Amino acid sequence: MRILYNKIIILSIGISILLCYNNKKTIGGYERVMKVGIVGAGAFSDDFIRLFNMHPDVEEVVIADLNAERVRKCMERHNLKRGFLSFDELLKEAPDVDSIGIFVQRQLHGPMAVEAMKAGKNVFSAVPIGCTLEEIQEITEIAEKTRLIYMMGETCYYYPCAIYCREKYRSGDMGKFVYGESQYYHDICEMYSDFSRSGGLNWRRVAGIPPMFYPTHSISMLFSAIDERALKVSCMGYRDNHSDNIYGEDKNNWSNPFSNETAIFQMSGGGVARINEFRRVGINKPSSYITCMYGDKGAYECSVTTHTFQRGISSGEEPYLENVGHLVNTYEYNEDLRNGKIDMTKDPISTKYIAGFAPIQNKERLPKTLQNITKGNHMSSHPFLVDDFVRAVVSGKLPPNNAWESARYMIPGLIAHESALRGGELMDIPDLGSAPKDWEMITYEFKDNYDDMSKFYDVDAHDYMNL
């Protein structure tokens, strides 16, 4: 019966995929083969709707939300032709939509991704991929059987510090990884309005989600840089006693007592990684960054806008210290610093300096329609996220943050929280393996316009440093 069930699922998915692609239209002689259905008309999804609309390979964007007024305003704001009042309605009434973007409450991501993929849709999901091992495993299994694209929209993978560390580590300048630290600091008081708007009167029940159930910002930056997986973890938590009553036994859906969690991971290459997920902390920006990454030959260190690389004596060359801030900080910050508009001894660092492109990001690999966005959220990672997902769907190749990589960014956090509940017990971390070896990674083409598709750079996404 199980085999028959799987065959029926795969057959139905195949029919759905054919329906999605039977009506391709061309613009400038080039097929625009994608239609994207966005689920959730909140503030976060708004920027992605705009970017998907601007991408030259996307024919149409549609919206679904339970709130009719949100749907109406979103359609009006982005000039959308179709809107739906539920995810189920979108799946039923828009069979030509081939891809789903999930922007709802984080605990719903996993089940919704599974439902979408069983309906034959590619999936782009806000983080995390899922909140249980079972959800994540089902997503990887469906992806392997159907070759549908699943991509987790992990912004920090495209952060300048993460790109720099990936590039420097893979160049060999750092040697073998021995130790690193990364973190995501986001005080819960800054998120009161977001949770109350989406969660209603019982918003605190959802706001108290364990910090390590949302670990992919910090984990993806460091783990992707060294391309290793976590084997074991020991985690400790800060038992919160704040008057907002968000954290504590029976105070949230997880009976989670911790607002902050610190995990120590044993990595597959022998090194050690420290990950902090803090929701009660007196810091604003930057919120996600790699503090340090040490190899046995060289090291990267960061403090706010100061970024340095140093080579040690063990490299066999003359030791030196290099300021690499001109690569990692935004163009605007670098320009203001050169022009004397910033006094580092007294001026506060404005949040405007975390909202633009940085030189290390190489925006030239984006379609021209996405290159001129001078202001963007999350260190201008959104255009790269959208472009990688579109490239993956159009080509049928894997994006960097595919289902298997996303699992390796999420599952360590789930086990870390269990370790914290057990007082820091050292625990093994299960692994769902890697993507199928015969499934190629996306390559990057530099597009001048819709007609000129001849310029291809045959570079594997895992080896392409300037993502």
User: Tens digit of pLDDT for each residue in 416-465?
Assistant: 999 999 999 999 999 999 999 999 999 775 443 333 322 222 333 333 33
User: Same domain for 97 and 198?
Assistant: no
User: Same domain for 69 and 214?
Assistant: no
| Separation CA 347–CA 13 (nearest Å) | 56
Give the count of domains, the chain. Answer: 2
* Contact by Cβ (8 Å): 83, 64: yes
CATH number at residue 114: 3.40.50.720
Q: What are residue 428's DSSP bridge partners?
A: 232
User: Same domain for 262 and 344?
Assistant: yes
**Is residue 357 in a domain?**
yes
Q: Model-level pTM?
A: 0.87
User: Same domain for 228 and 116?
Assistant: no
Q: Which of 159, 166, 256 shows the shortest CA–CA distance to 213?
A: 256
User: Same domain for 119 and 215?
Assistant: no
**Is residue 308 in a domain?**
yes
Residue 195 tokens read as 């949770």
User: Same domain for 139 and 193?
Assistant: no
> What is the pLDDT confidence band of residue 300, given thresholds at 50, 70 and 90?
very high
| Separation CA 248–CA 260 (nearest Å) | 12
User: Same domain for 335 and 432?
Assistant: yes
| Separation CA 192–CA 188 (nearest Å) | 7
Question: What number of other Cβ atoms are within 10 A of residue 303's Cβ?
Answer: 10
User: CA gyration radius for the chain?
Assistant: 22
* Contact by Cβ (8 Å): 82, 94: yes
DSSP-derived 3-state class of residue 270:
coil
Residue 82 tokens read as 């179709």
Planar angle of CA 139, 185, 207, nearest 5 degrees: 60
Q: Write down the pLDDT at residue 337.
A: 87
| Separation CA 165–CA 302 (nearest Å) | 11
φ, ψ of residue 336 to 5 degrees: the values are: -65, -35
User: Same domain for 117 and 165?
Assistant: no
User: Same domain for 327 and 348?
Assistant: yes
CATH number at residue 240: 3.30.360.10
User: Same domain for 181 and 236?
Assistant: yes
| Separation CA 259–CA 277 (nearest Å) | 8
Cis status, amide bond into 111, omega within 30 of 0:
no
DSSP-derived 3-state class of residue 412:
helix
User: Tens digit of pLDDT for each residue in 259-286?
Assistant: 999 999 999 999 999 999 999 998 877 7
Residue 323 belongs to what H/E stretch? strand 320-323
Residue 261 tokens read as 């969690």
User: Tens digit of pLDDT for each residue in 59-110?
Assistant: 999 999 999 999 999 999 999 999 999 999 999 999 999 999 999 998 999 9
Residue ranges in 148-226 assigned as alpha helix (H): 160-170, 192-199, 203-207, 216-226
User: Same domain for 189 and 266?
Assistant: yes
Look-up of token digits 């907002």 = 244
**Is residue 459 in a domain?**
no
Residue 347 tokens read as 């001026």
Per the structure, the complete domain to which residue 325 belongs is given by 156-445
Where is pLDDT greater, at 83 or 334? Answer: 83
Q: Write down the pLDDT at residue 304.
A: 84
Q: Give the range among 60-74, 133-147, 360-374, 435-449 with minimum mean pLDDT.
A: 435-449
User: Same domain for 130 and 228?
Assistant: no
| Separation CA 321–CA 308 (nearest Å) | 7
Is the per-residue pLDDT at 133 higher than 80? yes
**Is residue 460 in a domain?**
no
Q: Write down the pLDDT at residue 438.
A: 97
Is the per-residue pLDDT at 17 higher than 70? no
